[in-house]
């Protein structure tokens, strides 16, 4: 994606460009990277990362681009964000991590991806629920039990 295409995308999404400001914030402290990850737009995610977008930034709810890539069920976006250094274990305003969200939504391939990347499966929400406690399907449950067993021996 060239600069002109990215500027067109940014303007359509409500961001100010030019110049390209990869970490600009709009409503709810949303960055372009978060906005691109939410529908799983890998082309824009990669273009923003190439131009220095910070994958560690969080919105007003404490969710980052990785959360939105997982919301979109976009393994390619999640992989790109993880490779770029997106934090795996940030906890949002409810204490939920991306792993907890994915487990509770039954997003088995993303649970597997996050665990393989090193996500911490022992973190809990404000209500003291872990990813294991919220696993929505047997596959997620199996993956999380295996991760716990590997961690505790």
Judge whether residue 21 has pLDDT over 90. yes
Judge whether residue 15 has pLDDT over 80. yes
| 42-50 vs 75-83: helix crossing angle, rounded to 10 | 10
Tokens, residue 75: 């393994």
Fold observed for domain 88-153: 1.25.40
Judge whether residue 152 has pLDDT over 90. no
At 52 the pLDDT is: 97
At 151 the pLDDT is: 80
Distance CA 64, CA 143 (A): 24
pLDDT in tens, 80-137: 999 999 999 999 999 999 999 999 999 999 999 999 999 999 999 999 999 999 999 9
User: Domain limits of the chain?
Assistant: 1-87, 88-153
Q: What is the DSSP string of the chain?
A: --HHHHHHHHHHTT---SSP-TT--BGGGB-HHHHHHTTT-HHHHHHHHHTT--TT-B-TTS-BHHHHHHHTT-HHHHHHHHHTT--S----TTS--HHHHHHHTT-HHHHHHHHHHT--TT---TT---HHHH--SHHHHHHHHHHHHHHH-
1-87, superfamily in CATH? Ankyrin repeat-containing domain (1.25.40.20)
Q: Is 64 exposed, middle or buried (0-12, 13-18, 19+ CB in 10 A)?
A: buried
Q: Supply the pTM of this predicted model.
A: 0.96
Judge whether residue 28 has pLDDT over 90. yes
pLDDT in tens, 31-84: 999 999 999 999 999 999 999 999 999 999 999 999 999 999 999 999 999 999
């Amino acid at each position: 994606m060239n600069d002109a295409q990215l500027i067109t995308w940014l303007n359509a999404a409500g961001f100010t460009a030019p110049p390209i400001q990869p970490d600009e914030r709009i409503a709810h402290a949303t960055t372009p990277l978060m906005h691109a990850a939410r529908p799983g737009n890998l082309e824009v995610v990669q273009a923003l990362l190439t131009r220095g977008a910070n994958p560690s930034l969080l919105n007003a709810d404490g969710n980052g681009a990785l959360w939105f890539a997982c919301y979109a069920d976009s393994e390619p976006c999640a992989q790109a964000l993880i490779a770029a250094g997106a934090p795996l274990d940030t906890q949002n305003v409810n204490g939920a991590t991306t792993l907890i969200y994915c487990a509770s939504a039954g997003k088995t391939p993303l649970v597997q991806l996050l665990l393989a990347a090193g996500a911490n499966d022992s973190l809990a929400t404000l209500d003291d629920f872990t990813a294991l406690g919220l696993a929505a399907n047997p596959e997620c449950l199996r993956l999380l039990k295996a991760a716990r067993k590997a961690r505790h021996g």
